[in-house]
Amino acid sequence: MTATRTRTRPRTLDHEPEAITWARKKAGLTKRALARRIGISEQLMGEIESGWRNATPANLAKIAQALNCPLVILERKRQ
């Protein structure tokens, strides 16, 4: 019997997926190009942008640096 694995989104994210997408497009980069710049897979980059994976603090800092964007813009705002 094969177990099926269901994917669930993280309950909380430390980043704003929409902000990363916006900043990447503003910088004129594709997901592939940004992923290469920061040293992660294109698949992981897509999952971070879609909110399926949480960006680690280190990766979020690399994303901000690669996009020449303040880190605070990409971070999730706490209520």
Instruction: Name the superfamily (CATH) of residues 17-74.
Output: lambda repressor-like DNA-binding domains (1.10.260.40)
Average pLDDT for 4-13: 74
End-to-end CA distance of the chain: 44
Extents of the domains making up the chain: 17-74
Amino acid 79: pLDDT: 60
Q: Give 2-57 as a DSSP string.
A: PPP------SS-SB-HHHHHHHHHHTT--HHHHHHHHT--HHHHHHHHHTSSPPPH
Amino acid 12: pLDDT: 82
Task: Say whether pLDDT at 1 is over 70.
Answer: no
Cβ atoms of 34 and 67 closer than 8 Å: yes
Amino acid 6: pLDDT: 73
